[in-house]
């Protein structure tokens, strides 16, 4: 199956700093990537949809200036949490859909545990 | 509006017992249906999916699921649970040729010896 690699797996940062999370599709081209946030014992909440070469589409309530998403190539999308605060601590998961395969399953990264201290 | 409901927040079963996790969806057309499993601190792994055809689908790790259109359900089953099956299970629905996924709130499975 297709592989999506997310890096880093976990990160601790100081309040006020920025953190970048990478999501790569290793063996397929991903036209669309998705970023989710998951709070403990809860489901995945879609934050934004990222299409290669265009601006991301953010879900209602997600601050686009705080969660910067870039999808510069067909294999890489990044999420940057800017000026992080403790309430941004969470588990962030990306997923990618293969090019020309809309409607098929999305492949998920292993997630990034962000802790802001 | 599209939605996915997993009525059981937490289920405990004995090792070797059978398992059924419930999933109901609300969708305006024929959806694509998925079950994912998440181990603690890990990403999501696809167990199985239904797009069309045979309504009983087989997945990995001995899991199966049955799509019942009349009940808008896609329940996950396993005849004999193993201790390693303890995890969080998510049902999801997606639209054909759409990029949107909707996840249920998940069911946490505990397996006791």
Round the average pLDDT of chain B to a whole number and report it: 90
Of B34, B49, B98, the CB nearest to A102: B98
- In sequence order, the β-bridge partners of residue A78 are A22, A70
Q: Would you give per-residue pLDDT tens digits along chain A (117 residues)?
A: 678 899 999 999 999 999 999 999 998 888 889 999 988 777 888 899 988 888 899 999 999 999 999 988 889 999 999 999 999 999 999 988 876 555 566 788 888 999 999
Q: pLDDT at position A100, please?
A: 56
- In sequence order, the β-bridge partners of residue B38 are B44, B88
Cis-peptide, bond into residue A21, ω within 30° of zero: no
Q: State the pLDDT confidence band at B37, using cuts at 50, 70 and 90.
A: very high
In this complex, is the C-beta atom of A112 within 8 Å of any C-beta atom belonging to chain B? no
Q: How far is it, in rounded angstroms, from Cα B1 to Cα A68?
A: 28
Q: pLDDT at position A69, please?
A: 94
DSSP E strand boundaries for B15-95: 19-21, 24-26, 32-38, 44-50, 56-58, 64-68, 73-78, 87-94
Q: pLDDT at position A55, please?
A: 87
In this complex, is the C-beta atom of B74 within 8 Å of any C-beta atom belonging to chain A? no
Distance from the Cα of B64 to chain A's closest Cα (Å) equals 17
CB A31 within 8 A of CB A52: yes
The percent helix, strand, coil of chain B (3-state, each to 5) is 10, 50, 40
Q: Which residues of A touch B2 (CB under 8 A)?
A: none
Q: pLDDT at position A2, please?
A: 75
Percent pLDDT > 70 in chain B is: 94
Q: pLDDT at position B101, please?
A: 76
> With an 8 Å Cβ cutoff, are B99 and A1 in contact?
no
Task: Copy the structure tokens of residue A1.
Answer: 């199956």
CA count, 13 A, side-chain hemisphere, A48 = 24
Task: Copy the structure tokens of residue A106.
Answer: 């999305």
Output B11 or B1, whichever has higher pLDDT: B11
Q: pLDDT at position A105, please?
A: 66
Of B90, B96, B98, the CB nearest to A43: B90
In this complex, is the C-beta atom of A48 within 8 Å of any C-beta atom belonging to chain B? no
**A52 burial level (CB within 10 Å; 0-12, 13-18, 19+):** middle
Q: pLDDT at position B96, please?
A: 63
CA B72 to chain centre: 13
pLDDT in tens, B46-87: 899 898 888 999 999 999 999 999 999 999 999 999 999 999
Q: How open is the CA angle A101-B92-A71, to the nearest 5 degrees?
A: 45
The percent helix, strand, coil of chain A (3-state, each to 5) is 5, 55, 45
Q: pLDDT at position B99, please?
A: 61
In this complex, is the C-beta atom of B106 within 8 Å of any C-beta atom belonging to chain A? yes
Q: pLDDT at position A1, please?
A: 63
In this complex, is the C-beta atom of A25 within 8 Å of any C-beta atom belonging to chain B? no
């Amino acid at each position: 199956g297709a592989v999506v690699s997310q890096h880093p797996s976990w990160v601790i940062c100081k309040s006020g700093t920025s953190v970048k999370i990478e999501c790569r599709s290793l063996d397929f081209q991903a036209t669309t990537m998705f970023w989710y946030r998951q709070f403990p014992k809860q489901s995945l909440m879609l934050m934004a949809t990222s299409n290669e070469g265009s601006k991301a589409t953010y879900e209602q309530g997600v601050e686009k200036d705080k969660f910067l998403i870039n999808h510069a190539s067909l294999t890489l999308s990044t999420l940057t949490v800017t000026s992080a605060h403790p309430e941004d601590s969470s588990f962030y998961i990306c997923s990618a859909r293969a090019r020309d395969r809309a409607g098929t399953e999305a492949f998920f990264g292993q997630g990034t545990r962000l802790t802001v201290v | 509006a599209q939605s996915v409901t997993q009525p059981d927040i937490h289920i405990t079963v004995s090792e070797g017992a059978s398992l059924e996790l419930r999933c109901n969806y609300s969708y305006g057309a024929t959806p694509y249906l998925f079950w994912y499993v998440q181990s603690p601190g890990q990403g999501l792994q696809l167990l199985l999916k239904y797009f069309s055809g045979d309504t009983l689908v087989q997945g990995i790790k001995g899991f199966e699921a049955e799509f019942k259109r009349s009940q808008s359900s896609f329940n996950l089953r396993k005849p004999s649970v193993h201790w390693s099956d303890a995890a969080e299970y998510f049902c999801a629905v997606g639209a054909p040729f759409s990029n949107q996924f909707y996840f249920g709130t998940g069911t946490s499975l505990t397996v006791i010896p």
